[in-house]
Amino acid sequence: MAETQTAPERVNFQTHPDRYRHWRLAITGDVATLAMNVQQFEPQRPGYELKLNSYDIGVDVELADAVLRLRFEHPEVRCCVVTGSLDRVFCAGANIVMLRSSTHGFKVNFCRYTNETRLSIEDASANSGLRFLAALNGTASGGGYELALACDKILLVDDRNSAVSFPEVPLLGVLPGTGGLTRITDKRKIRRDRTDVFSTIAEGIKGKRAVEWNLVDRIAQLSKWDEAVSQMSHELANEVQPRATKGVELDHVEAAHEGGTLRYRHVELKVDRATRVAELTLVAPDACAKNETEAHGQGAAWWFLRAFRELDDAICQLRFNEPHIGLVLLRVKGPASSWATTDTLLATSKHWFVVETRHLVKRVLKRFEGSAKSLYAIADDGTTFVGTGLELALGCDRIYLLNDPDQAVQMGVTEVHAGLFPMANGLTRLQTRFLGTPDSVGKVLEQRGKLFDAATANDLGLATVAPDSIDWDDELRLAIEERASFSPDGLTGMEQNLRFAGPETMETKIFGRLSAWQNWIFQRPNAVGERGALTCYGTPTKPEFNTLRT
């Protein structure tokens, strides 16, 4: 019988290497080693054991934190070796009992978070001069192999036992859908027929055949393992230059809990569970760093870095700890000069710290618009949607703009809109918004460096609806009530289809398939029914499938 599905305990997304339970981070010169050492009896919530380096959300929170800290705190590191600490086991993938005993929504959010972490590894390689070597000291299956695929190179121990595998289809009735199938076809470009065979062999593929099929880059005998890891890690390190000799220590991001409100320094998240609506507000300070020296000197306290780390935490809180919230109302405030000055710094500076912050903001914007929540930007009295603040609005499903000359609504375009924060589809948010009228992008960019009123913003096509003050309250109230009345399933499917118009990329494929196919398969009786494969895995009961193809 299946375990009872339970709502998980609240997930804490803040940690530190001193508090890691499942990973060991060590740095020697320009090479870091991140060793997976999952503590079997320390799951994120009671009810399952993390055997064979299988992971849950707690394991991945630590991994995400480690990657972030390598980028900010250790710019001297040029290669990170990701390996396992258990004998003949790298990682058995996501913990099966955790998956089948979790709510459906948690499973999907878990898959999304783990893939965002893998994308952060690939982003670090592409933009931070930090290469990753997956040193598979043992078998890597399912999500374990997906983690390896996110790295630049894969080294597999040749011990006649260790293999790489995607056992989800033959054993669990689900998919390696957290980017696995997409990466082996689009990233490693493995032949379709070989991918088909590989994805249906539960025991996986090992040794020379794994190299021949491009599933791994090299193999090494156990007697020469350490030598091979050292050689490959230094080869990867020599591909790039160190960014700096000393990093910036990241402080703890913490919010004060006051009823249904989380208050950070620059971000406030107010949750109304009765209406299923949250209000998310980001406020720029009155004064800000004007150059890279000031920003670097402030370190983790630099308002822009701190604000978007807070926003990132708030988004994760909404996803995992507020699953019934359906609609998020976004407001951006603070002096327009603070937004504009910071954006100029982001667009012009080549200082590693500023560049790293820019890439963090890019990832947070992607996480924001990739969330299964309806997103409305509310440009009303006292709001300042300027530059990066306007990027947040452009990431929303709708922009409601108060068109009243007597109300203080400021909007403005800066350098960042020209491509500093690409979306998952590789386009800017303006290009995506005006896919059918590309000339509109140029008209908006002509306003760079200017502040304009609601009427101009509406003329430029930056508003979905722009009522005056007489109709504002009723218009907004009806829009909120209507959204709350719709099916969450239908809304999620609609939003994820509409948000990423234009070119298809590996990233949009991953999240599109995760949102649709994996979401669907995770609810099918063949996977999670009483005799489904995921339910029966690890028990004496054999799964039974409904053989109807749909």
CATH number at residue 271: 3.90.226.10
Domain-ending residue, one of 494, 528, 544: 494
Please report the pLDDT score of residue 108 as a whole number: 87
**Residue ranges for the chain with pLDDT beneath 70:** 1-8, 177-178, 515-516, 518
Q: Which has the closest alpha carbon to 448: 428, 418, 419, 424?
A: 418
Predicted confidence at residue 4, as pLDDT, reads: 57
pLDDT recorded at residue 174: 85
* Cα 93 from Cα 198, distance rounded (Å): 16
Domain assignment of residue 545, yes or no: no
Largest CA distance in the chain: 78
Report how far residue 514's alpha carbon sits from residue 171's, in angstroms, rounded to the nearest whole number: 19
User: What is the spatial distance between Cα 503 and Cα 437, in angstroms, rounded to a whole number?
Assistant: 16
312 lies in the same domain as 354: yes
pLDDT of residue 8: 61
415: in domain: yes
Within-domain flag for 207: yes
Q: Do 145 and 192 fall into the same domain?
A: yes
If asked whether residues 353 and 486 sit together in one domain, one would say yes
Is 226 in the same domain as 153?
A: yes
Q: Mark whether 232 and 279 lie in a shared domain.
A: no
- How many C-beta atoms lie closer than 10 Å to residue 189's C-beta? 9
Q: Is residue 386 part of a domain?
A: yes
Using CA atoms, how far apart are residues 150 and 156, in angstroms rounded to an integer?
Answer: 15
Does 159 reside within a domain? yes
> What's the CA gap between 122 and 513, in Å, rounded?
19
308 plus 427 within the same structural domain: yes
Question: Shortest CA distance to 234 belongs to which of 159, 157, 164, 155?
Answer: 155
Distance CA 270, CA 481 (A): 17
Last residue in a domain, options 478, 494, 510 = 494
Domain carrying residue 438? 256-494
Residue 217 inside a domain? The answer is yes
Residue with tokens 């290669």: 79
Distance in angstroms (rounded) separating the CA atoms of residues 153 and 233? 9
Is the distance from CB of 266 to CB of 274 less than 8 angstroms?
no
Q: Are residues 306 and 430 in the same domain?
A: yes
Closest to 305 in 3D by CA, of 336, 267, 276: 267
Residues 325, 183 within the same domain: no
Domain shared by 290 and 437, yes or no: yes
Q: Judge whether 539 lies within some domain.
A: no
Q: Are both 164 and 82 inside the same structural domain?
A: yes
Is there a single domain that holds both residue 114 and residue 75? Answer: yes
Domain endpoint, select from 237, 268, 292: 237
pLDDT at 459: 96
**What tens digit of pLDDT does each residue of 119-156 get?**
999 999 999 999 999 999 999 999 999 999 999 999 99
Provide the number of structural domains found in the chain: 2
Alpha-carbon distances of 38 from 56, 90, 183, 235, 301, rounded to whole Å: 10, 10, 25, 28, 32
List strands edge to edge, sheet with 131-136.
23-28, 31-36, 79-84, 131-136, 153-158, 218-221
**Residues of 198-233 as b/e, b for ≥16 C-beta within 10 angstroms?**
bbeeeebbbbeebbebebbbebbeeeebeebbeebb
Lookup result for tokens 């609601």: 454
Residue 536 domain-assigned (yes or no): no
Cα 282 from chain centre: 20
- Cα-Cα-Cα-Cα torsion 364, 365, 369, 374, nearest 10 degrees, comes to 90
Same domain, 119 and 180: yes
pLDDT tens by residue, 35-93:
999 999 999 999 999 999 999 999 999 999 999 999 999 999 999 999 999 999 999 99
